[in-house]
A and B are shown apart, each in its own frame.
Chain A
Amino acid sequence: MSPQMIDRLWQAAFDTLFMVGVSAAIAFLAGIPLALFLVTSEPGGIFPAPRANRLVGMVVNGFRAVPFIVLLVALIPFTRLVVGTTIGVWAAIVPLAVSATPFFARIAEVSLRQVDPGLIEAAQSIGCRRRHILLHVLLPEALPGIVGGFTITVVSMIGASAVAGAVGAGGLGDVAIRYGYQRFDTTVMSVVIAMLIVLVCLVQIAGDSVVRRLRAR
């Protein structure tokens, strides 16, 4: 491999990390309130709002139903509105975050639902207000599951970022398509695949170790 190619690969790896990192952070920050809303606004929840709950649930399902490559294209006007461009790393961050948020929200929702209702009852009995229940009961108790779910989300976003690369977002997927596939450069293709594998493994190991530490108590 030429020194230029090695530089290009490093740049691509950095782009991927950046794209996934920023959109994962957005998905985390937006997904948790969304998940909390889905759980607590149910009939019988602590903030019951059945209509809004159904509506938000439907919107989430809608986004979940659209394949990422289609969403990527469909969101182009929105992306232009938000970041002012439709190519490059920032243009990929918008659809990545939009697609990962509902995905992560649903996964976090499952963990929040597994919190024993007895704990909520106990919190109410000691004079907790509803925000205390969110802060002291639901979130901390569901945290190991939420972190595990976030790991899954990040891994699937690494895959999605490669798809985003195909439409000019840069990153490892972009290099793999342009050099590995279109120029039949098997070495580049193999290196990209190896880098993706290492990246995914690192994310998984990091996520697992956080979950293990949280569960150890």
Chain B
Amino acid sequence: MAVLALDSLGTARPAQRETAGPDAIPLIRVEAGLRGTVRFENVSKTYRSAAGEVFALDDVCLDIACGAIFGIIGRSGAGKSTLLRTVNRLERPTSGRVLVDGEPIAALGTDGLVALRRRIGMIFQHFNLLSAKTVRQNVALPLTVAGVGKAEIAHRVEEALRLVGLEDKAETYPSRLSGGQKQRVGIARALVSDPEILLCDEATSALDPETTVSILSLLRDINRRLGLTIILITHEMSVIREICTNVVVLEAGRIAESGPVWRVLGTPEHPATRALLAPLTRDLPEDLAGRLTPYPTPGSRAVLRITYSGRTPPDLSTLVAATGGPVHLLQAGIERIQGHAVGHLLIAAAGTEAEVRLRAIGETVERIGYVAADD
């Protein structure tokens, strides 16, 4: 309980997690193990509208481990935003429980809720900075309302601004900042009270691609350095691929698919996942697609797609040996996600045996069709 009590005052430092070293007493180790975890138990949320009941969330069960970068993806209206907001009780589930650090949050009174929210930072798509306050005042607000002393506030605001690289903008008003800088201020404000969980609500959706990359790498950096759990929602699979360790795909308020990112991206099973992945997947080149024939013609070559979703990257020499003849690489897209090779190769190989032999050495092969020899 010692660690949790410290947290509720908002004064515990992230270094707390490292106290589970050789000297740490077992009690603290148990608490430390739950710090920064979120658990959803059969969480449902229904809204009453003119058209009847709307299920925003339908029986969601989910465990988020400490230190994870957990992505929640889905199309708009899938319920991601509602799910995220149940973590700091900006939304209350209609049924089911949400546990933060193993503690159910539904029963918390005002004081308990305020203490909980001080342990959970949140950043927003449209930044939600106060226009009447300077960057410094914005970042200081969580501490000001918590009654932290002036000197302590000054010190921690300085530290938070340094972390996001905006020390020189402290006296500026948010309207003078670029989108990326505003989001950095948002991140500093979320981190200034040393939270153990950071909620990101479409944090990069209003930013250009370059800024998105820099904000995502900042988030990854924060996750590594401070060890805090990040839960982010997005509708872009590229964000998930960029920084997440785990992902859950929501579709119409239900979990369509969940797991480590490499597995969900490598072998998507649900149509919703595939649809979300579409912008990242390379289609069959158009000129090739136009000339594919479903049946072999004399001298034609088989077009094969070899899919990778495992730890081992493609071994080219084995592939060539297995095809046993001329082989052309038509298209390739292999990525390394969390140490796993994920993607596919598109090859053209002579003869019908190539496919069989590739299967025999354990490759996942799909025959797309045939092309004439002169391709």
Check A127/B90 contact, CB under 8 A, given A121-B128, A122-B128, A136-B130: no
Check A141/B131 contact, CB under 8 A, given A126-B142, A127-B145: yes
Check A119/B128 contact, CB under 8 A, given A126-B189, A129-B110: yes
Check A126/B193 contact, CB under 8 A, given A121-B90, A136-B145, A217-B175: yes
A121 contacts which chain B residues (CB < 8 A)? 90, 124, 128
A125 at the interface (CB under 8 A from B): yes
B88 at the interface (CB under 8 A from A): yes
A44 contacts which chain B residues (CB < 8 A)? none
A143 contacts which chain B residues (CB < 8 A)? 132
Check A126/B190 contact, CB under 8 A, given A136-B145, A217-B175: yes
Complex CA–CA separation, A119 to B10 (angstroms): 22
Complex CA–CA separation, A79 to B173 (angstroms): 47
Complex CA–CA separation, A53 to B145 (angstroms): 28
A129 touches B114 (CB 8 A): yes
B122 at the interface (CB under 8 A from A): yes
User: Which residues, 111 to 138 on A, are CB-close (under 8 Å) to B?
Assistant: 116, 118-119, 121-129, 132, 136-137
B115 contacts which chain A residues (CB < 8 A)? 127
B129 contacts which chain A residues (CB < 8 A)? 122
Min C-beta distance of A112 to chain B, whole Å: 13
Interface centre among A116, A126, A127 (most CB of B within 10 A): A126
B102-133: contact bitstring with A at CB < 8 Å (1 yes, 0 no)? Answer: 00000000100011011011101010111111
A123 contacts which chain B residues (CB < 8 A)? 141
Min C-beta distance of A136 to chain B, whole Å: 6
The interface size of chain B toward A, counting residues with CB under 8 Å, comes to 31
B145 touches A122 (CB 8 A): no
Complex CA–CA separation, A214 to B10 (angstroms): 33
Complex CA–CA separation, A118 to B131 (angstroms): 12
A140 contacts which chain B residues (CB < 8 A)? 130, 132-133
A127 touches B122 (CB 8 A): no
Min C-beta distance of B122 to chain A, whole Å: 4
B118 contacts which chain A residues (CB < 8 A)? 126-127
Q: Which residue of A lies closest to B131 (CB)?
A: A141
Complex CA–CA separation, A122 to B126 (angstroms): 10
Check A122/B131 contact, CB under 8 A, given A127-B115, A129-B110, A136-B141: no
Interface centre among B122, B134, B173 (most CB of A within 10 A): B122
B133 touches A122 (CB 8 A): no
B141 touches A125 (CB 8 A): no
B146 touches A127 (CB 8 A): yes
A125 contacts which chain B residues (CB < 8 A)? 88, 90, 117, 120-122, 199
B130 touches A119 (CB 8 A): yes
Check A122/B122 contact, CB under 8 A, given A141-B131, A217-B131: yes
Min C-beta distance of B91 to chain A, whole Å: 10
Min C-beta distance of A43 to chain B, whole Å: 13
A214 contacts which chain B residues (CB < 8 A)? 132
Q: Which residue of B lies closest to A135 (CB)?
A: B145
Complex CA–CA separation, A132 to B130 (angstroms): 13
B114 touches A141 (CB 8 A): no
B117 contacts which chain A residues (CB < 8 A)? 124-127
A118 touches B126 (CB 8 A): yes
A141 touches B189 (CB 8 A): no
Interface centre among A116, A118, A141 (most CB of B within 10 A): A118
Give the A-binding residues of B (Cβ under 8 A).
Answer: 10, 88, 90, 110, 114-115, 117-118, 120-122, 124, 126, 128-134, 141-142, 144-146, 173, 175, 189-190, 193, 199
Give the B-binding residues of A (Cβ under 8 A).
Answer: 116, 118-119, 121-129, 132, 136-137, 140-141, 143, 214, 217
5 A-B contacts, Cβ less than 8 Å apart?
A: A116-B128, A118-B126, A125-B117, A127-B114, A127-B193
Q: A116-B128, A126-B121 are in contact. List 18 more A-B contacts (CB 8 A).
A: A118-B126, A118-B128, A119-B130, A121-B90, A121-B128, A122-B122, A122-B128, A125-B120, A126-B145, A126-B190, A126-B193, A127-B118, A129-B145, A136-B141, A136-B144, A136-B145, A137-B130, A143-B132
4 closest Cβ contacts across the A-B interface?
Answer: A122-B128, A140-B132, A125-B122, A126-B142
